[in-house]
């Protein structure tokens, strides 16, 4: 235990020396700040590229509840596709957003109906739920329309989103993690 404590203390002292050196060397500080900005902007560009490629405002979602178990677990990441080339079919897992609510819902299509205008209406249900989703829809809404759908699940990455769930359950941990990551980028020697 003493060896681990000593190692951590040496690492912290080394990082403090690096920060003091960088504060004096404005050119290095600027370079590290630009590196951090490049990482942030690269992530934003990647996100925008995924939005265009998948035609979805939210191309990647994390499953936050157990309503779709056992098919999709809490903490799984879903990669969505919202192309309108093929019709949504019964049995597909879709992600939809209800008017007036911020968090999208991941459920399976239970019924699909065409109305006389050629518009498709859908009814959804979570695999682990006893009843359909009409109780979740907006007041007076009995069916989902195509514009309510954010996309269909094309790829499932099991448990890859557990970090997001932990950050939602413990919000203070989010700020600590962001601070540590920024600190590591700013003090990186390479």
From the candidates 56, 67, 76, 148, which is the catalytic residue? 67
Residue 67 among the catalytic residues: yes
Closest listed residue to residue 124, CA positions, set 98, 94, 151: 94
56, 76, 133, 148: the catalytic one is: 133
Q: Is 3 exposed, middle or buried (0-12, 13-18, 19+ CB in 10 A)?
A: exposed
Q: Is 107 an active-site residue?
A: yes
Q: Which two tokens stand for residue 105?
A: 């819902």
- The first and second tokens of residue 40, run together, are 């942030």
Candidates 14, 58, 83, 107; catalytic one: 107
Name 22's Cβ contacts closer than 8 Å, sequence gap at least 6.
Answer: 28, 29, 32, 186, 187
The residues annotated as belonging to the active site are 67, 107, 133
């Amino acid at each position: 235990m003493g060896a681990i404590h000593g190692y951590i203390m040496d690492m912290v002292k080394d990082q403090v020396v690096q920060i003091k050196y960088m504060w004096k060397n404005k050119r290095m500080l600027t370079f590290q700040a630009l590196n951090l900005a490049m990482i942030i902007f690269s992530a934003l560009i990647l996100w925008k590229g995924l939005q265009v490629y998948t035609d979805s405002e939210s191309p990647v979602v994390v499953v936050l509840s157990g309503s779709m178990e056992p098919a999709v677990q809490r903490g799984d990441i879903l990669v969505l596709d919202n192309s309108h080339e093929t019709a949504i079919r019964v049995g597909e897992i879709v992600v939809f957003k209800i008017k007036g609510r911020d968090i999208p819902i991941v459920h399976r299509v239970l019924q699909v109906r065409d109305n006389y205008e050629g518009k498709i209406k859908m009814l959804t249900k979570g695999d682990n739920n006893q009843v359909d989703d009409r109780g979740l829809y907006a007041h007076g809404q009995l069916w989902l329309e195509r514009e309510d759908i954010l996309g269909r699940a094309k790829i499932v990455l099991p448990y890859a989103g557990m970090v997001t769930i932990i950050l939602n359950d413990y919000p203070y941990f989010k700020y600590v993690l962001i601070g540590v990551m920024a600190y590591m980028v700013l003090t990186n020697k390479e």
